[in-house]
C-alpha cells in the first residue's frame, strides 16, 4: 500500500485545530503521513519534531579568506540574495569582515539575512553592519513575492507575538534584558515579579516550543538565548510597558551576586573554580556593567572589581581596563572599594605593557587609606605602593614605600610576611640568592604564625625571569612565570607560593637538590589544599628547574601536567607561559622545530589578547632558539625587538640581560661598536635596579672581550 503525504503549512495560529485534525487523520486513514510546519509542536500522538536550525555562522575572530568564507551557509545565502539585488555584488577582501559580522549579528536567520541582503541596493555591507543595533528598522520591506507577514522581520515577529497568551508575553519581553545565553536560575531571579516561580519552567518551555527561545548546552547545564533580532523586538515591548528600568536593576543584582561569588578575595575558602564559569555569562556581565554605568555607578564599580581577575585570566586585558576606567570615572568616592579597583587597573595595565600610571595608582591607593584612619590598612596600602613602584622600575622609591609599610605594620604579621616575601623577589631579581633565601625563610616563619582561614592578603608574585650562564660563558635569560598575577591568597596558600619562590632563590645559587625539594614541597602544599592555580605554578617551576639540571624526562612530565591544569582553568596567559617553557625544554634537547612550534603557539595567544609582556618575552625565546640553531642574524633581530622589555613593568633586569646577550652576538660578529653600545645599555639597566649578578657578569664579559681583542 502506497503512503500518502498530507502537508499542513503554518499551523501555529490554529495549533489545537490542526492537532485534532492530524489525530483524526492518523486514527482513520491508514498509510497517511502528515508533514506539518509550525512555530510550535502540535503535541499530537506519534509526532516527531525537527527544528529548522539557523544557518552556520562564520568565526568573526579568525576570519578565513573570502573563498573559504563564502562556503559558510549564512554567508552564501547573504551573497546570493545580495547578488539578486545588485548583480555586480561579490564577496571580496574589502567587504568580507562586514558580511561576516552581519551573519553573526543576525544569528544566521534566513529571513533576516535575506532582508539585510536586499539593503545592498542602498548601503554597503559595512553600513548595514553598523546599523544592526536597530535591526528591526533596518530590515524593512522584503520581496513582494512573500506573504505579508514575512515581508518584514517586524511583521514576522508581530505575528508570533500575537499568538502568545498574556503570561507568555510577560516573560518573553522580560527575557529581552538578557544578552547572549542565560540560565534558568537567572530567569527565576530576574523575571518572576508577578509570575509564579513554579510556572517559570513551563512558560519558558512554551516559548521554546514556539521557537522564540533557543536552548543550548554548556557542559552539564542548559542555557537559553533569544536571537538578536527577536531580543530587540522583545526589548521594545519591555520599554513600552515601562518595565525596562526595574528589570535591568534585577538583572544587575543577579549578575553582581554571580560575579562576587567567584571573587576569591571575598571568601576564606580555597577554590579550584575556573574563570570559564563566568565566560558563559560574559555577555550578560557586560550588559550589567553597561546599565550600571548609566544608572548605578557604585554597582558598576563593585561589578568591575569582582571581574578583574576574570578579565586577567581570560585575556580580556584591554576590555577589562576600559570597564575599570569607566567605573572609576563614574564612582569617584575615595573608598576602599576604589582602592581595590585601582589595583586591578594597575594589573591590567601591566598586561598591556603600560606602566606609565603605576606610580600615580599607588599614590592614590595610599591616599585613600590614609584618610580612612586604619593603620593596618594604611601599612598594607604602602606595601601595595611598593609593589607598583618596583613594577614601574623605580627601585629606590619602592624600597622607601616598603620600609614605611613595615614601620606602620607595628607587628601586623600579614603585612610583614608579604613585605619579607617582596624583599625576597627583589633579591632574586638582583641576583642575590643568599638575601633572597633569608627573606623567603622570614616570610615562611611569619606565615606559620597565621591561621589558615585568614582573608586573602598575600599577592601572588614571582621573580618571573631566570638568567643562566653556560660553560662557554654565554648568558641566557628565560621568562618562566608571570611576575604579577594580581591574585590575593590567604596564609595557607601563601606558604605554597613562598616555597615556590624559595626554589627560585636556591636555584640562583646553584643548589639543584635544595631548589627541587622546595618546589616539590610547594606542589605538595597546593595539592593538599586543593588549589590547582598554585599547583600549576609550582609544577611549572619544578619543570624549569629540571630542565636547567638536564633532567629532561622529569621536566617534560611536570610541564605537561602544568599545561593540562592551566588549560582546564582557562587562564590564557598562564597557558602561554607554560607553552614557552615547553619550547625552552625542546630547545635545550636540540629540537629546534618543536621549540619554535611551542613558542609560536604561545606568541599567537599573547598577540590575540594584546599581552605586550607575553609577546615580547616570546620574541626573546624565539631569539634564543635562533641563537641555538646558529642563526645569529635572526637571533640578533629578535633579541633587539625583545629589548622592549626595558619598557615592560617588572622586566628591567631581564632587559639588561637581553642587552648583554646582544653585546656578545655583536662581539662575535666583529661589531665592536655595537657591542660597546649594548654593554652600555645593559650597564645602565643593571645599575638602575642594583642587579649585582648582572654587573658582575658585565665585568667578566669585559675582561674576556679585551683578551679576545
Q: Could you report the per-residue pLDDT of 68-102, keeping only the tens digit for each?
A: 888 888 889 889 888 988 899 999 999 999 999 88
Cβ atoms of residues 497 and 484 within 8 Å: no
pLDDT tens, residue by residue, 281-316: 999 999 999 999 999 999 999 999 999 999 999 999
Residue 706 has pLDDT above 80, yes or no: no
Residue 48 has pLDDT above 80, yes or no: no
Beta-strand runs (E) in 226-300:
none
Residue 19 has pLDDT above 70, yes or no: yes
- Give the alpha-carbon dihedral of 186, 190, 196, 201, to 10 degrees: -30
Residue 49 has pLDDT above 80, yes or no: no
Residue 709 has pLDDT above 60, yes or no: no
Report, as an integer, the average pLDDT of 409-438. Answer: 93
Cα dihedral sign, 538-539-544-545: positive
Residue 33 has pLDDT above 60, yes or no: yes
Cβ atoms of residues 552 and 588 within 8 Å: yes
Q: What is the pLDDT of residue 12?
A: 66
For 186-235, give the DSSP string: HHHHHS-TTS-GGGHHHHHHHHHHTTSSEEEEETTEEEEE--HHHHHHHH
Residue 1 has pLDDT above 50, yes or no: no
- Of the CA atoms within 13 Å of residue 252, those in its CB half-sphere come to 23
**Cα 377–Cα 380–Cα 382 angle in degrees, nearest 5:** 110
Q: What is the pLDDT of residue 137?
A: 65
Cα dihedral sign, 529-534-536-542: negative
Report, as an integer, the average pLDDT of 202-215. Answer: 86
**Cell of residue 37, nine digits:** 510546519
Q: What is the pLDDT of residue 411?
A: 78
Q: If 0-12 CB within 10 Å is exposed, 13-18 middle and 19+ buried, where does residue 17 land?
A: exposed
pLDDT tens, residue by residue, 521-538: 999 999 999 999 999 999
Identify which of 294, 322, 296 has the alpha carbon closest to the alpha carbon of residue 307.
322
Residue 436 has pLDDT above 60, yes or no: yes
- Percentage of the residues of the chain whose pLDDT score is greater than 90: 62
Angular region, 583: left φ>0, alpha ψ -120 to 50, beta rest: alpha
Residue 484 has pLDDT above 80, yes or no: yes
Other CB atoms within a 10 A radius of the CB of residue 209 amount to 16
With cut-offs at 50, 70 and 90, classify the pLDDT of residue 145.
very low
607553552: which residue's cell?
579
pLDDT tens, residue by residue, 543-598: 999 999 999 999 999 999 999 999 999 999 999 999 999 999 999 999 999 999 99
pLDDT tens, residue by residue, 377-403: 999 999 999 999 999 888 899 999 999
- Percentage of the residues of the chain whose pLDDT score is greater than 70: 91
pLDDT tens, residue by residue, 215-257: 888 777 889 988 888 888 899 999 999 999 999 999 999 999 9
Identify which of 264, 276, 258 has the alpha carbon closest to the alpha carbon of residue 315.
276
List beta partners, residue 7. Answer: 35
With cut-offs at 50, 70 and 90, classify the pLDDT of residue 50.
low
Residues with Cβ within 8 Å of residue 235, at least 6 apart in sequence = 173, 176, 177, 244
Query: What is the length of the chain?
Result: 709
With cut-offs at 50, 70 and 90, classify the pLDDT of residue 135.
low
Other CB atoms within a 10 A radius of the CB of residue 512 amount to 15
Residue 136 has pLDDT above 80, yes or no: no
Q: Mean pLDDT in the chain? A: 88
Cα dist. 138→132, 229, 233 in Å? 7, 11, 13
pLDDT tens, residue by residue, 459-474: 999 999 999 888 777 8
Identify which of 552, 638, 652, 651 has the alpha carbon closest to the alpha carbon of residue 603.
638
For residues 444 and 503, what is the distance between their CA atoms, to the nearest angstrom? 13
Residue 708 has pLDDT above 60, yes or no: no
For 93-152, give the secondary structure using H, E and C.
CCCHHHHHHHHHHCCCCHHHHHHHHHHHHCCCHHHHHHCHHHHHHHCCCCCCCCCHHHCC
Residue 274 has pLDDT above 50, yes or no: yes
**Cell of residue 159, nine digits:** 505575528
Residue 148 has pLDDT above 80, yes or no: no
List beta partners, residue 182. Answer: 224
Residue 147 has pLDDT above 70, yes or no: no
Residues with Cβ within 8 Å of residue 461, at least 6 apart in sequence = 387, 421, 422, 425, 483, 484, 485, 497
For residues 207 and 200, what is the distance between their CA atoms, to the nearest angstrom? 11
Q: What is the pLDDT of residue 81?
A: 87
For residues 393 and 647, what is the distance between their CA atoms, to the nearest angstrom? 9
The residue that leads in pLDDT, 80 or 274, is 80
Residue 144 has pLDDT above 50, yes or no: no
Q: Is the whole-model pTM more than 0.85?
A: no
Amino acid at each position: 500500500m502506497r503512503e500518502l503525504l498530507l502537508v499542513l503549512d503554518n499551523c501555529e495560529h490554529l495549533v489545537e485545530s490542526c492537532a485534532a485534525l492530524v489525530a483524526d487523520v492518523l486514527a482513520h486513514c491508514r498509510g497517511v503521513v502528515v508533514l506539518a510546519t509550525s512555530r510550535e509542536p502540535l503535541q499530537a500522538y506519534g509526532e516527531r519534531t525537527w527544528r529548522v536550525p539557523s544557518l552556520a555562522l562564520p568565526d568573526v575572530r579568525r576570519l578565513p579568506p573570502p573563498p573559504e568564507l563564502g562556503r559558510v551557509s549564512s554567508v552564501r545565502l547573504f551573497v546570493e540574495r545580495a547578488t539578486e539585488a545588485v548583480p555586480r555584488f561579490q564577496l571580496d577582501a574589502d567587504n568580507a569582515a562586514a558580511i561576516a559580522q552581519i551573519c553573526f549579528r543576525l544569528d544566521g536567520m534566513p529571513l533576516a539575512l535575506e532582508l539585510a541582503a536586499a539593503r545592498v541596493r542602498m548601503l554597503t555591507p559595512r553600513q548595514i553592519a553598523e546599523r544592526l543595533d536597530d535591526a528591526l528598522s533596518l530590515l524593512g520591506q522584503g520581496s513582494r513575492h512573500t506573504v505579508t507577514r514575512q515581508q518584514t522581520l517586524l511583521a514576522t515577529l508581530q505575528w508570533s507575538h500575537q499568538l502568545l497568551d498574556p503570561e507568555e508575553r510577560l516573560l518573553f519581553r522580560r527575557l529581552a534584558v538578557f544578552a547572549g545565553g542565560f540560565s534558568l536560575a537567572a530567569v527565576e531571579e530576574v523575571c518572576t515579579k508577578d509570575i509564579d516561580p513554579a510556572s517559570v519552567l513551563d512558560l519558558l518551555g512554551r516559548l521554546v516550543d514556539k521557537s522564540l527561545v533557543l536552548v543550548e548546552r554548556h557542559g552539564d547545564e542548559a542555557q537559553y538565548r533569544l536571537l538578536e533580532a527577536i531580543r530587540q523586538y522583545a526589548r521594545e515591548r519591555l520599554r513600552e510597558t515601562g518595565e525596562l528600568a526595574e528589570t535591568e536593576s534585577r538583572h544587575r543584582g543577579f549578575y553582581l551576586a554571580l560575579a562576587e561569588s567567584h571573587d576569591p578575595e571575598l571568601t576564606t575558602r580555597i577554590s579550584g573554580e575556573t574563570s570559564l564559569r563566568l565566560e558563559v555569562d560574559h555577555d550578560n556581565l557586560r550588559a550589567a556593567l553597561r546599565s550600571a554605568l548609566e544608572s548605578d555607578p557604585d554597582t558598576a564599580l563593585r561589578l568591575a572589581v569582582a571581574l578583574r581577575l576574570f578579565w586577567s585570566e581570560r585575556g580580556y586585558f584591554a576590555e577589562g581596563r576600559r570597564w575599570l576606567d569607566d567605573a572609576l570615572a563614574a564612582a569617584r568616592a575615595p573608598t576602599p572599594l576604589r582602592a581595590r579597583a585601582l589595583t586591578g587597573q594597575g594589573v591590567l595595565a601591566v598586561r598591556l605593557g603600560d606602566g606609565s600610571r603605576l606610580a600615580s595608582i599607588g599614590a592614590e591607593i595610599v591616599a585613600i587609606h590614609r584618610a580612612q584612619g586604619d593603620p593596618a590598612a594604611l601599612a598594607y596600602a604602602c606595601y601595595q605602593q611598593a609593589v607598583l613602584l618596583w613594577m614601574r622600575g623605580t627601585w629606590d622609591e619602592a624600597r622607601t614605600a616598603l620600609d614605611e609599610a613595615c614601620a606602620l605594620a607595628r607587628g601586623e604579621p600579614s603585612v610583614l610576611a608579604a613585605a619579607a616575601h617582596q624583599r625576597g623577589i627583589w633579591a632574586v631579581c638582583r641576583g642575590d640568592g643568599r638575601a633572597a633565601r633569608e627573606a623567603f625563610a622570614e616570610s615562611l616563619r611569619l606565615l606559620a604564625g597565621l591561621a589558615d582561614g585568614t582573608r586573602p592578603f598575600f599577592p601572588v608574585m614571582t621573580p618571573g625571569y631566570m638568567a643562566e650562564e653556560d660553560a662557554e660563558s654565554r648568558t641566557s635569560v628565560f621568562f618562566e612565570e608571570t611576575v604579577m598575577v594580581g591574585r590575593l591568597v590567604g596564609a595557607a596558600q601563601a606558604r605554597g607560593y613562598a616555597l615556590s619562590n624559595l626554589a627560585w632563590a636556591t636555584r640562583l645559587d646553584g643548589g639543584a637538590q635544595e631548589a627541587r625539594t622546595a618546589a616539590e614541597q610547594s606542589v605538595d602544599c597546593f595539592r593538599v589544599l586543593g588549589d590547582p592555580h598554585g599547583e600549576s605554578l609550582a609544577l611549572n617551576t619544578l619543570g624549569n628547574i629540571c630542565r636547567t639540571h638536564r633532567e629532561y624526562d622529569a621536566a617534560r612530565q611536570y610541564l605537561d601536567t602544568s599545561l593540562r591544569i592551566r588549560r582546564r582553568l582557562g587562564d590564557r596567559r598562564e597557558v602561554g607561559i607554560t607553552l614557552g617553557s615547553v619550547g625552552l625544554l625542546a630547545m635545550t634537547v636540540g629540537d629546534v622545530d618543536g621549540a619554535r612550534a611551542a613558542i609560536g603557539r604561545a606568541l599567537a595567544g599573547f598577540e590575540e589578547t594584546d599581552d605586550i609582556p607575553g609577546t615580547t618575552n616570546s620574541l626573546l625565546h624565539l631569539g634564543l632558539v635562533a641563537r641555538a640553531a646558529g642563526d645569529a642574524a635572526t637571533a640578533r633581530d629578535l633579541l633587539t625587538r625583545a629589548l622592549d622589555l626595558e619598557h615592560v613593568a617588572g622586566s628591567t633586569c631581564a632587559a639588561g640581560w637581553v642587552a648583554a646577550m646582544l653585546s656578545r652576538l655583536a662581539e662575535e660578529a666583529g661589531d665592536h661598536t655595537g657591542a660597546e653600545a649594548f654593554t652600555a645599555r645593559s650597564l645602565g639597566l643593571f645599575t638602575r635596579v642594583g642587579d649585582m649578578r648582572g654587573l658582575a657578569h658585565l665585568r667578566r664579559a669585559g675582561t674576556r672581550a679585551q683578551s679576545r681583542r
